[in-house]
Amino acid sequence: MARADVAVVGAGLAGLTAAIQLAEAGARVQVMATGHAATHWAPGGIDAGALPGSRTSLDAVERLARLEGHPYAFLADGLPDALAWLRSALGAEGLDLVGELTDPLRAIPTAIGSTRLAAILPDGMAAALPAWTAGETLVVCGPAGFRDFWPDAIAAGLRRPSTWRGHPRPARVEALTVELPGLAGRHNLSSLDLARFFDDPDWRATALEAIARALEGRPQEPGRIALPAVLGLHDHPAALAAARERLPLAPFEVALVPPSVPGLRLFAALRATLRRLGGRLQVGEAVHGVIGADGRVAELRAPAAAREFVLTAGAIVLATGGIAGGGIVAERAGSLVESVLGLPVDGPERGDWLLVDPFDPAGHPLEAAGIRTDVRLRPVAPGALERPLAENVRIAGSLLAGQRFLRQRCGDGVAIASGRLAALELRGSGSAPRSAAVVGAGREARS
């Protein structure tokens, strides 16, 4: 039987934030997850909030905090410290974040020829953040044969003024396709293939030289070059530095369809931090537990090759994701249930699960389903907020009820703020004696 101070179920941004902060405090941490989390498909930046009419992420956070039942009602005050902590932790692993909560939300190009609003991005995407100035050109450049990045189609979308949502836009958008070394005739390249090629110093030098030559002969005018987000997986800082040095235009990466290379870099940096601090990460099987008669969860169980794996823990952090992550599932009888401990879910009645109009501006009712908690992140039954259902359990991330993390673009902010608060609560409550084991039962995470 394995032992840990705290078990965190879910290896996404929320679970790993909680686990690392507990490990930093000297806790013995075990993270368990069913699979990979949103980090593996998200674009890699930090979405704290983006609402129509909001000038900054902080504006959006403050507006969301005033909505009844939204997690930011009690998480917003801790978000700046959580972001500062995350920036420091990632920076120590060579992955820098650029931008602040108070910076303007900018229209950032996407790989489908549209834009999305963002203010806090990885360094590799940061050249997209400054406002476009008069006369600037955007060159959309992609490798020949790469199925997930079509420069001509992307450029066509970005030439439409409406694409930029009223934000400053480049004066011209050009498309450029380049044959990269050794890839002629390859028509099934993935983002991971290209990222691993860029990890090779010799190959990337030749590739960047080919891109630089393809840019020769264009007018000598200010501009930037958009590249697919494949500038290295394990050696990204070196690949980014080489691109900035060799290319005549300021390069920035554009996020692609999953698997997300920037998201994989983020996950790898957090996993390395956890392991360096002595935390453990176990991925691959569903995790289950039971709330005892004393109102506590004493152990978690998961299938194993020879016999059932049992982990005893002083406290539990549930960061398994909501409907999209598998932390909440629907039963045949027509009810929603939390998948690890069977906690009651605050969500719509069965008759309201589906909409006649899938594009209803109000959003899908199931999107806001989740677990209600008190201000200490202890789970409570809907309508009985004063009585925690489990004293030694904390809820974090998109499992928290009341948020529409896709529509409100608040998922990353809620994740890091709740992960940090869960760690602080367990460190101060005595539920995590000396060390912490975080079980990331991921459908919010696959390691």
List of residues 6+ apart from 445 with CB closer than 8 A: 10, 11, 12, 15, 16, 31, 33, 34, 35, 36, 37, 39, 283, 319, 321
Beta-bridge mates of residue 250: 224
Last residue of a domain, one of 204, 221, 254: 254
Claim to verify: residue 119 and residue 244 sit in the same structural domain: yes
List of residues 6+ apart from 52 with CB closer than 8 A: none
Claim to verify: residue 70 and residue 115 sit in the same structural domain: no
Claim to verify: residue 170 and residue 274 sit in the same structural domain: no
How sure is the predictor about 432, in pLDDT bands with cuts at 50, 70 and 90?
A: low
Structural domain includes residue 303: yes
Distance between CA 101 and CA 79 in Å, rounded?
9
Q: What is the DSSP string of 331-356?
A: -TTS-EEETTT--B-B---GGGSS-S
How sure is the predictor about 90, in pLDDT bands with cuts at 50, 70 and 90?
A: very high
Beta-bridge mates of residue 283: 33
Structural domain includes residue 221: yes
Claim to verify: residue 294 and residue 424 sit in the same structural domain: yes
Structural domain includes residue 101: no
Please choose, from the candidates 410, 272, 286, the residue with its C-alpha nearest in 3D space to the C-alpha of residue 10.
Answer: 286
Claim to verify: residue 361 and residue 272 sit in the same structural domain: yes
Claim to verify: residue 271 and residue 404 sit in the same structural domain: yes
Averaged pLDDT for residues 257-274: 95
For the segment 354-406, what is each residue's pLDDT rounded down to a tens digit? Answer: 888 877 877 788 888 999 999 999 999 987 767 899 999 999 999 999 999 88
| Domain with 151 in it | 111-254
Task: Give residue for tokens 């920035």.
Answer: 252
Claim to verify: residue 232 and residue 332 sit in the same structural domain: no
Averaged pLDDT for residues 312-340: 91
Claim to verify: residue 271 and residue 420 sit in the same structural domain: yes
Structural domain includes residue 439: no
Claim to verify: residue 279 and residue 235 sit in the same structural domain: no
E strands, 180-335, in order: 223-228, 250-254, 280-283, 288-291, 297-302, 309-318, 328-330
What separation in angstroms does the CA of 189 have from each of 3, 7, 151, 251? 44, 39, 15, 21
Q: What angle do CA 249, 251, 256 make, to 5 degrees?
A: 145
Claim to verify: residue 82 and residue 181 sit in the same structural domain: no
How sure is the predictor about 431, in pLDDT bands with cuts at 50, 70 and 90?
A: low
Buried b (16+ CB within 10 A) or exposed e, 356-368: eeeeeeeebbbbb
Structural domain includes residue 68: yes
Give the count of domains, the chain: 2
Claim to verify: residue 196 and residue 296 sit in the same structural domain: no
The radius of gyration computed from the CA coordinates of the chain, to the nearest angstrom, equals 23
Structural domain includes residue 440: no
Claim to verify: residue 181 and residue 278 sit in the same structural domain: no
Please tell me the pTM assigned to this model: 0.93
